[in-house]
Amino acid sequence: MSHNEETPGGATSERHRQERPGPESQHLAELGPEGMYEAAERLCRTVAGEGPRGASAARTVGRIAETLADTRSRDCVTFAVDLVSRLLPEEAIPPGEGDRLLRSVAAKLVRTQQLRDIEPLFRELPDGVLGRAVELRACLLGELALIGSGTGRRSLDAYAEKLGELEHPLARLPRTRLDTEHRFTTRVRGLGSIKTAKQLRSRFPEAPSTDGGAVAGRGAVNTLDDGRANAAAQPFRAGGWTREPEARFFTLPSPLSSDDFGISFIKELPLRCLAGEGSRRGSALACETTPDDVLNELFSASYVGGVNGQGQGGAYARLYAWESLYALMGSPAGVPLLEVVRSAADHRWLRFMAFTDWFHHDTSDLAFAVLDPTRTRVAVLAATDTDVHRDALG
């Protein structure tokens, strides 16, 4: 666990700062909550079937809903929820944008509004998991879990229990933040993304480089598993990171010594992120890390979003992070989350970097390797948020 000072509620990246309101937002704010809601209501009646003009109007409705969600009052809660879950035609916005809007409104409501004004939204239990109204409430419960709020309230507890019965994906997660999730949605003072070998060495102990590791790496066999690879990569895809992540899995003919699990082993694996290693100035290195460090980076990938992407809200960023961690550990989806937390300590975790076309060292580069308790299975996940050297990366 990290012992660095943390600032609750801070952004995890400069990209997560709120943008200053533009002229349109300032004009809308002058209308007041009721005026904004009425303007959005009129737009909702015109967006369907209007092509580009309709899409533009739908985006304006979305911005109004986010502004209302971020304005503390019981009426604003009602107005924002009504716009995104009932009035805005589903066909007016692309599915991905519609999902992002629901998640954004839920996150803003939990951050800004008082729980007593959110609680009435849960009076009626859902009879299915489909529909924006149910999805919004599931996201609200997920956001409340991240701040340790909402449990012990009869209507919220009943709604969460019903979502579990209906097998909503967010219902898989605990309704309170776990200790291993301690850095979610926080900014650790003095720490940003790791861009240089010096920064990596200053934060984590370097793993040894051994001849035995190199020999073992040459004997590793690539194991294809598209479903597992997709789950591992999901945080970066959801956050709109520029490049397609690399998720690979390997098996070894005999157990790997813990001392041999280092950069000499990793460099022998046929990894796209290491193509051309040794042809540039700088040496690849690997450092030992912890599962909570990996989990936090997976969470941040979709919570903050890529340079050209968008954040997905805390509820789904949390889900994607856990699904990715499950995939890296090779744990079946049905294994209870707390059991995965316990078994994570039996795995070996590395962060690594190199000087190749993949690791650009100026935006966001991440690479992890995980050795399972049998010491015969290795998972590797690498992601980069730069589109420079596109041809070299493939």
Do the beta carbons of residue 47 and residue 57 sit within 8 Å? Answer: yes
Average pLDDT for 14-24? 46
pLDDT at 249 over 70: yes
Overall size of the chain counted in residues: 394
pLDDT at 331 over 60: yes
341, 167, 300, 268 alpha-carbon torsion, rounded to 10°:
60
pLDDT top residue among 84 and 200: 84
pLDDT at 1 over 90: no
> Look-up: residue for tokens 């589903």?
90
Do the beta carbons of residue 340 and residue 346 sit within 8 Å? Answer: no
For 194-205, the pLDDT digits (tens) are 888 888 888 999
Q: Which of 27-31, 276-280, 318-322 has the highest mean pLDDT?
A: 318-322
Distances (CA, A) of 210 to 206, 256, 284: 12, 12, 14
- For Cα atoms 139, 143, 148, give the angle at the middle one, nearest 5 degrees: 140
The single-letter code of the amino acid at 267 is K
Do the beta carbons of residue 70 and residue 108 sit within 8 Å? Answer: yes
For 120-150, the pLDDT digits (tens) are 999 999 999 999 999 999 999 999 999 999 8
157: which 2 tokens? 């507890």
Q: What is the pLDDT of residue 52?
A: 64
> Look-up: residue for tokens 């999901």?
234
What is the DSSP-derived secondary structure letter of residue 274?
Answer: G
Q: 56-65, 187-196, 228-237, 259-268 — which is least confidently predicted?
A: 187-196
Average pLDDT for 342-350? 96
Determine the 3-state secondary structure of 352 from DSSP: strand
Do the beta carbons of residue 253 and residue 317 sit within 8 Å? Answer: no
Q: 102-106, 239-243, 287-291 — which is least confidently predicted?
A: 239-243
18: confidence class by pLDDT, cuts 50, 70, 90:
very low
Q: What is the pLDDT of residue 28?
A: 67
Q: What is the pLDDT of residue 195?
A: 81
What is the DSSP-derived secondary structure letter of residue 149?
Answer: -
Do the beta carbons of residue 42 and residue 57 sit within 8 Å? Answer: no
CA–CA distance, 115 with 92 (Å, rounded to integer): 31
pLDDT at 5 over 70: no
Q: What is the pLDDT of residue 394?
A: 41
Q: What are phi and psi of 361, to 5 degrees?
A: 65, 30
Q: What is the pLDDT of residue 187?
A: 67
Q: What does pTM read for this prediction?
A: 0.89
Q: What is the pLDDT of residue 390?
A: 46
Q: 3-17, 173-187, 377-391 — which is least confidently predicted?
A: 3-17
